[in-house]
């Protein structure tokens, strides 16, 4: 009987009806409730064309329905290429790439950060930039007649301290992905 | 005209020929580009992780330019979008400016909201102007067909760019190519994204996005791709061989940065523009000129 139930009854997703308000309070997420599901975003999305895991219309629908854990723990929110094609075409000014950023910001605080984005954030904290400008790189710059660039930028680590991102990254909160 | 040049992360390490040619051409056109070595990352890669940190990273850069009384000229399109967005937000949202100034104060810096940000190519298009560029051309490149890749953040989100070009029907790069005497090649996927932003998340999809455009430009018969963003160059240049070998294709499609195209047309030696240092060496192209 028990196994029959498991087989026949669909898994019910726990819904959080307040999730859409949470997203709307996040910078970039303000317009999420304007979405009327026309699908203009997905139809013009180059990522969605190649990878069906990414479907901005569906992600927004999931948020509005309150599928908080499913959305925040998923990989698909990290697949927006921020090309802003949907942003230009959305008739409701939902600001979809910004909504995706809002979702990713919440996901990071909830312990879900994509490893590639964690790595980038840590590189920038360390070097002040995405790439280290080491002695060799500076030698090449000098050879080309280009100005040297200082190695490291301590003020960036200070910024991470001021905003709390340093704590967020070091707490291991971003470990799950 | 004098501006602070914002190199970003990728250009000064991986795209030196872009920096070199931009500075060379700017000097020729009376645009003085001032280096500010203390600049940090624009903030773009952090925006999806922590909004406030991205804004503060951008604000620190704006503050550094303001200390010197200069507006910012960018070479990377992603840097352009974040720095433009933050500069506009801070200029119009007093509460945000106050909060940002409090944080900047902890770094011993201040910002009053005055700095404007524009992409290098937009400065050429709007301030130097097509007429002046045309006059600067000494060696028309009428033997070349060049396909422009606009990329995303040079044009979009359009509300932060004062309507200088149309996000759905862009023409600035094609006009800038035409001014050099080269034929501006039209192609189907002209407005598509290079995929660079998701390279670290889903490499297969990212490279497929780049491949679609390489295929299209190849069949359109272009001699080269015109690029204005270092990350697009990573996709179409540095990854070109990898994309091709994955599908049994050898593209050999040179990528050129716009200031290199302009510089060639202005009669500047290709060595001073770093052409042979590009990820795809444009040997056949250079042979056509000489």
Say yes or no: A31 contacts chain B, CB-CB below 8 A.
no
Taking only the tens place, the pLDDT of each residue in A103-145 is: 999 999 999 999 999 999 999 999 999 999 999 999 999 999 9
Taking only the tens place, the pLDDT of each residue in B119-130 is: 999 999 999 999
Provide φ and ψ at B273, rounded to 5°: -105, 0
Question: At B117, is the secondary structure helix, strand, or coil?
Answer: strand
Q: Which of B199, B43, B76, B216 is nearest to A159 (CA)?
A: B43
Interchain contact, A81 vs B106, CB within 8 Å: no
User: Taking CB atoms and an 8 Å cutoff, what residues of chain A touch B40?
Assistant: 124, 128-129, 153, 155-156
Residue A143 backbone zone (phi > 0: left; psi -120 to 50: alpha; other: beta): alpha
Please give the structure tokens belonging to residue A49. Answer: 């064309």
Residues of B (213-272) whose Cβ lies below 8 Å from A:
none
Interchain contact, B205 vs A47, CB within 8 Å: yes
Give the whole-angstrom CA distance, residue B94 versus residue A38.
35
Domains located in chain B, CATH noted:
2-119 (1.20.1050.140), 130-289 (3.40.50.11810)
| pLDDT at residue number B290 | 75
Please give the structure tokens belonging to residue A165. Answer: 């991102």
| pLDDT at residue number A51 | 95
- Could you tell me the end-to-end alpha-carbon distance of chain A, in angstroms, rounded to an integer? 35
**Cα separation values, B155 from B49, B127, B174, B228, Å:** 23, 17, 14, 12
Q: Which of B16, B21, B41 to mutate to test the interface with A (most CBs of A within 10 A)?
A: B41
| pLDDT at residue number B289 | 86
Taking only the tens place, the pLDDT of each residue in B23-42 is: 999 999 999 999 999 999 99
| pLDDT at residue number A79 | 98
Q: Which residues contact B198 (CB under 8 A, 6 or more apart)?
A: A47, A78, A79, A80, A81, B205, B206
DSSP-assigned beta bridge partners for residue B118:
B73
Taking only the tens place, the pLDDT of each residue in B40-64 is: 999 999 999 999 999 999 999 999 9
Interchain contact, B152 vs A146, CB within 8 Å: no
| pLDDT at residue number B232 | 97
Question: At B107, is the secondary structure helix, strand, or coil?
Answer: coil
Q: Give ipTM to 2 decimals.
A: 0.95
- Identify the helix (H) or strand (E) that includes residue B34: strand B32-35
Average pLDDT, chain B: 97
Domains located in chain A, CATH noted:
2-109 (1.10.1060.10), 115-170 (no CATH)
User: Taking CB atoms and an 8 Å cutoff, what residues of chain B touch A141?
Assistant: 12, 16
């Amino acid at each position: 009987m028990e196994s029959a139930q498991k087989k026949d009854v669909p898994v019910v997703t726990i819904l959080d009806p307040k999730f859409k308000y949470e997203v709307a309070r996040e910078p970039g997420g303000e317009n999420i409730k304007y979405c009327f599901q026309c699908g203009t975003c997905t139809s013009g999305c180059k990522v969605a064309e190649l990878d069906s895991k990414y479907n901005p219309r569906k992600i927004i629908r999931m948020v509005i329905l309150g599928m908080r854990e499913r959305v925040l723990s998923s990989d698909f929110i990290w697949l927006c290429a921020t090309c802003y094609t949907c942003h230009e075409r959305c008739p409701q000014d939902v600001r979809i790439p910004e909504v995706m950023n809002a979702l990713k910001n919440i996901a990071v605080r909830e312990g879900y950060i994509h490893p590639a984005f964690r790595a980038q954030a840590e590189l920038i904290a360390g070097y002040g930039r995405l790439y280290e400008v080491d002695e060799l790189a500076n030698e090449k710059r000098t050879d080309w007649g280009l100005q040297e660039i200082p190695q490291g930028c301590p003020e960036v680590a200070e910024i991470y301290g001021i905003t709390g991102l340093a704590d967020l990254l070091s707490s291991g909160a971003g470990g799950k992905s | 005209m004098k501006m602070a040049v914002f190199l970003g992360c990728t250009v000064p390490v991986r795209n030196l020929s872009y920096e070199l040619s931009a500075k060379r051409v700017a000097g020729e056109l009376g645009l003085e580009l001032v280096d500010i070595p203390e600049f940090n990352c624009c903030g773009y890669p952090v925006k999806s992780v922590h909004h406030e940190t991205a804004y503060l990273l951008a604000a620190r850069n704006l503050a550094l330019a303001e200390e010197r009384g200069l507006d910012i000229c960018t070479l990377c399109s992603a840097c352009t979008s974040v720095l433009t967005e933050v500069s506009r937000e801070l200029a119009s949202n007093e509460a945000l400016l106050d909060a940002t100034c409090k944080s900047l104060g902890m770094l011993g810096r201040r910002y009053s909201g005055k700095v404007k940000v524009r992409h290098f190519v937009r400065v050429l298009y709007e301030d130097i102007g097509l007429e002046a560029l045309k006059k600067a051309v000494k060696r028309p490149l009428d033997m070349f067909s060049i396909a422009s890749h606009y990329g995303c953040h040079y044009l979009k989100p359009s509300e932060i760019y004062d309507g200088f070009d149309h996000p759905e029907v862009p023409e600035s790069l094609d006009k800038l190519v035409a001014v050099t005497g080269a034929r501006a090649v039209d192609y189907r996927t002209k407005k598509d994204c290079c995929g660079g932003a998701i390279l670290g998340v889903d490499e297969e999809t990212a490279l497929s996005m780049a491949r679609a455009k390489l295929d299209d430009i190849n069949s359109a018969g272009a001699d080269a791709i015109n690029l204005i963003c270092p990350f697009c160059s990573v996709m179409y240049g540095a990854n070109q061989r990898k994309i091709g070998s994955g599908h049994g294709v050898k593209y050999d499609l040179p990528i050129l940065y716009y200031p290199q195209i302009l510089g060639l047309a202005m009669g500047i030696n290709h060595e001073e523009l770093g052409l042979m240092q590009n990820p795809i060496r444009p040997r056949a192209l250079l042979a056509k000129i000489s």
